[in-house]
Amino acid sequence: MDLIVPIILLSGLAFYVAFNLGANDVANSMGTSVGSKALTLKQAIIIAGILEFTGAVLFGERVSKTLATAIVNPEVFISNSQVFVIGMISVLISTGLWLQIATRQGLPVSSSHAVVGAIAGFSFIAAGAKAVDWRTIGIISLTWLVTPLISGLIAALFYTLIRHWILNQPNPDHQIREWIPWLSSALITIFGVIVFPILSAPLQKILNHWGSTLPVHDIPLAIGGIAAVSLTWISWRQLDQQQTHSASKFEKFPGIEKQLAQFQVISACFVAFAHGSNDVGNTIAPLAAIVAVLKTGSIPLVDLEIPTWILFLGGSGIVTGLAIWGKNVIKTVGENIIALVPSEGFCAELATATTVLLASRLGLPVSTSHALVGGVVGIGLVANTKSVRLDTVRSILLAWVITVPTAAVLSAILFKLIEWIL
């Protein structure tokens, strides 16, 4: 009973952080779709809201090692759990404040980096340099440079291929029909490899419970094949309908851009689901660590179990923030770097997903924000008719550079202030 009031107050604080994450980070999945006019802002908010919440609640617990035990060395705080709790409270407040400031300015920043900086800041001021895992900090810092570069290169490659083999061909309507199976297979393959590992563990348990001997790794082959064939068939039918009922003969490649817009919507949905399942930990891991300390009286030294109600809290906060304040960053990513059309937005999202997938296989922590912005810039550099707005890019780069140190300083100041008050 004594824990109910503090847990309610801390839950409100975690909701505030999740709210700001939803307002900022969800532009990663929907910004390019809105910018290319594949989706309206209202449609993007509804679709992203449903998929972000579903990913967060159903699969947010899959994180095997939380930020609470990856950046900070918890053994340092074993003898004084109160300092650890105060530190995590300062992490929540400073992360929420920085995300709110960035969102107000329409700047896409990395919530992961904000949490990392905040945890490092309080740990350093509370227990010195030995409390921080500097190797992890160094790896994350390296991803600031590598992630947007790789994503930009992949996006440029994808767009160059599509432009050469489809858009610039004498008969692009015929070319898009031949390329639909390949685009369907690429889309299903890339996003299937990202999403299916999330599903494999619970699915294998269900199969084992039913007494099935079917290896779970055989299932994605069947699902991927069925999905690719289905998407190809649907796309062919819709292309025929668009060509039959085209309203204007003067619209340049109407069937192609409309067709690629449908692929872009599908890719955005997968990114939204994966983002919700991955990034919800940025907002609720500190709360889960605090609740564990309050209930057990000890600091979690290994993987942290996240209760379902905390997952619901994080998912609800993300959706609320997206609905109320998400348009600022969505506009920056989708419209203020370059003016996008569906073919370009699709390539940017495909490059983002591929970059995140490669990083996951290498065990590298990356920012989806960095990957998407890099992909959009890469498209702008290879599309001769596009002009990259350098002032927007400079503002985004500055926000990236100062995220970790700003969050660290805010967290350190708040830690000392809360410690003094208590």
Tell me the C-alpha distance between 381 and 374, whole Å.
Answer: 11
Average pLDDT, the chain: 77
Asked if residue 236 has pLDDT above 60, the reply is no
pLDDT for 198: 56
Asked if residue 394 has pLDDT above 60, the reply is yes
The whole model's pTM is what?
0.78
More confident residue, 360 or 171: 171
Which two structure tokens, joined as six digits, stand for 3? Answer: 């824990």
pLDDT for 363: 57
Kindly give the residue spans of alpha helices, DSSP state H, lying in 36-171.
Answer: 41-59, 67-70, 81-104, 111-127, 134-162
- Which residues pair with residue 72 across a beta bridge? 132
Which two structure tokens, joined as six digits, stand for 119? Answer: 């945890």
Tell me the C-alpha distance between 102 and 65, whole Å.
Answer: 27
The residues, ordered by sequence, that sit 6+ positions from 206 with a Cβ below 8 Å of its Cβ are none
- Of all residues in the chain, the percent with pLDDT exceeding 70 is 75
Relative orientation angle of helices 254-279 and 342-362, to the nearest 10 degrees: 30
Tell me the C-alpha distance between 297 and 301, whole Å.
Answer: 13
pLDDT band, residue 230 (cuts 50/70/90): low
User: Mean per-residue pLDDT for 189-193?
Assistant: 67
pLDDT for 319: 85
pLDDT for 99: 92
User: Do 379 and 347 form a contact (C-beta atoms < 8 A)?
Assistant: yes
More confident residue, 408 or 254: 408
Tell me the C-alpha distance between 56 and 14, whole Å.
Answer: 14
Total domains present in the chain: 1
User: Mean per-residue pLDDT for 348-369?
Assistant: 74
- CA geometry: angle at 94 spanning 117 and 139, to 5°? 10
Question: What is the extent of the structural domain holding 38?
Answer: 4-421
More confident residue, 295 or 186: 295
pLDDT for 149: 92
Tokens 């199976």 sit on residue: 181
User: Mean per-residue pLDDT for 264-281?
Assistant: 74
pLDDT for 202: 56
Q: Which of 31-35, 226-230, 250-254, 364-368 has the lowest mean pLDDT?
A: 250-254
User: Do 106 and 328 form a contact (C-beta atoms < 8 A)?
Assistant: yes
Asked if residue 382 has pLDDT above 60, the reply is yes
Q: What is the pLDDT of residues 307-330, one digit of tens each?
A: 888 888 888 888 888 888 888 888
Residue 252, classified by CB atoms within 10 Å of its CB into exposed (0-12), middle (13-18) or buried (19+), is: exposed
More confident residue, 145 or 347: 347
